[in-house]
Amino acid sequence: MADQEVYRGLKGVTVDVTEASFIDGEAGKLLYRGYNIHDLAEHSTFEETTYLLWHGKLPTRRELEHFDSQLRVSRTLPPEILEIIRLIKSAHPMDVLRTAVSALAAFDPDVNDNSFEANIRKGIRLTAQFPTIVAAHARIREGKEPVPPNPNLGHAANFLYMLHGKEPDEVSARALDVDLILHAEHGSNASAFSVRVTASTLADMHAAIVAGIGTLKGPLHGGAAEAVMAMVKEIGKPENAEAYVKKALAEGKRIMGFGHRVYKTEDPRARHLRKLAKEMGERMGQPEWYQILTKVEEAMAPLREKGIYVNVDFYSGSVYYLLGIPEDLFVPIFAMSRISGWVTQVLEQWKDNVIIRPLLKYVGPMDLPYVPIDQRVEAA
């Protein structure tokens, strides 16, 4: 076992095959089920993209209408879940989401049915209920009553409606819709891998999704957008950006929203978020956030030779901010999108399941004598 090779962080290790997304990290290319992310961002909706990911094909009009209507009727939460949210309202929104989804298992009629059809039904319910959980919690913690979902609104528009209590304009709803499309699926990222590990033991969909939510929370994965916005606020003015970046790098710190395990060129999703950040900033009369972000991007140019470019999270935080979304909801919004990819990964894992169980190389002491407790000495 001494010559056992170790692949820390599973870097570069291919663990299975997928038909869900294709990522070319050198070319900066991302396809969902063969369709380029740029086409989907321009022409699709989150609902249609989710159908595509789960069923492997673009829906016909009739199929999409049926799928969309199922999502719309599944948005309401059982009153018990609202009670739980009230009880834990002071927790981080990701913890509330994780707890609420875990509790939803108790109310799901299909919880123990792992058939494809039941998983689609559970996927629809979870995808529809994520925004209701996030918006209800955001209002409850502010001492307001949750706004019931509006079945006349699409998925993205309804979230903004439930959050703010008023219907969003079309541009805002479309901005969120595009953001949800862009974050929906991304191969074996950390949270999707967690989801697959849990699914691979033949646990249920809710268990797998709860694992995904837990993994997404960390700042090296889903938490980067929130950290980017905190950085932008700290920088304050475009003219401070260069010095801020230089100082941070000199101190060995990472600049959030840069670098990616797979992309060694610009993340293709960043293009659309950059455009939205610019447009939304101008529209809202707050161009300074975009200006600061561009200056940070310029200051980071020397790191391009190491393959460090902007990732999906660099511009998304400012889009959320301009949509009036509190910063600690940025990761839950990522989850509201990535639920689509997580369900895809569960479906794919169970198509041809194998338990995911890698090895660890033992590097500790061997064959120590067992010392009885009253003969052990305290370390000095």
CB 258 within 8 A of CB 308: yes
- Stretch touching ligand ACO by CB under 6 A, among 14-22, 44-52, 257-265, 291-299: 257-265
Applying CB under 6 A, which of residues 217, 260, 274, 295 lies at the interface with ligand ACO? 260
Q: How far is the CB of 204 from ligand ACO (least distance, A)?
A: 26
One of 313, 352, 367, 374 is an active-site residue; which one?
313
Chain residues 113-172 in contact with ligand ACO, contact rule CB under 6 A: none
Applying CB under 6 A, which of residues 55, 89, 254, 264 lies at the interface with ligand ACO? 254
Applying CB under 6 A, which of residues 255, 296, 322, 323 lies at the interface with ligand ACO? 255
What burial class does residue 291 get, using C-beta atoms within 10 Å of its C-beta: 0-12 exposed, 13-18 middle, 19+ buried? middle
The answer to whether residue 260 is catalytic is yes
Q: How far is the CB of 251 from ligand ACO (least distance, A)?
A: 11
Give the 3-state DSSP-derived string for the chain, with helices as H, strands as E and coil as C. Answer: CCCCCCCHHHCCCCCCCCCCEEEECCCCEEEECCEEHHHHHHHCCHHHHHHHHHHCCCCCHHHHHHHHHHHHHCCCCCHHHHHHHHHCCCCCHHHHHHHHHHHHHHHCCCCCCCCHHHHHHHHHHHHHHHHHHHHHHHHHCCCCCCCCCCCCCCHHHHHHHHHHCCCCCHHHHHHHHHHHHHCCCCCCCHHHHHHHHHHHCCCCHHHHHHHHHHHHCCCCCCCHHHHHHHHHHHHCCHHHHHHHHHHHHHCCCCCCCECCCCCCCCCHHHHHHHHHHHHHHHHCCCCHHHHHHHHHHHHCHHHHHHCCCECCHHHHHHHHHHCCCCHHHHHHHHHHHHHHHHHHHHHHHHHCCCCCCCCCCCCCCCCCCCCCHHHCCCCC
Nearer to ligand ACO, 27 or 220 (CB): 220
- Stretch touching ligand ACO by CB under 6 A, among 40-48, 195-203, 232-240, 252-260: 252-260
Chain residues 46-85 in contact with ligand ACO, contact rule CB under 6 A: none
CB 191 within 8 A of CB 221: yes
Q: How far is the CB of 339 from ligand ACO (least distance, A)?
A: 15
One of 179, 260, 267, 272 is an active-site residue; which one?
260
One character per residue 330-359, x = contact with ligand ACO (rule: CB under 6 A): ------------------------------
One of 179, 221, 267, 272 is an active-site residue; which one?
221
Nearer to ligand ACO, 139 or 260 (CB): 260
| φ, ψ dihedrals at 351, nearest 5° | -65, -35
The answer to whether residue 137 is catalytic is no
Q: How far is the CB of 215 from ligand ACO (least distance, A)?
A: 10
Nearer to ligand ACO, 62 or 306 (CB): 306
Nearer to ligand ACO, 135 or 331 (CB): 331
- Whole-angstrom CA distances from 233 to 158, 229, 230, 240, 365 are 29, 6, 5, 11, 48
Nearer to ligand ACO, 128 or 299 (CB): 299
One character per residue 217-246, x = contact with ligand ACO (rule: CB under 6 A): ---xx--x----------------------
Chain residues 290-319 in contact with ligand ACO, contact rule CB under 6 A: 306, 308, 311-313
Q: Is 258 in the site for ligand ACO (CB under 6 A)?
A: yes
Nearer to ligand ACO, 220 or 243 (CB): 220
The answer to whether residue 313 is catalytic is yes
Which residues are tagged catalytic? 221, 260, 313
Where on the chain is the footprint of ligand ACO (CB under 6 A)? Answer: 9, 189, 220-221, 224, 254-261, 306, 308, 311-313
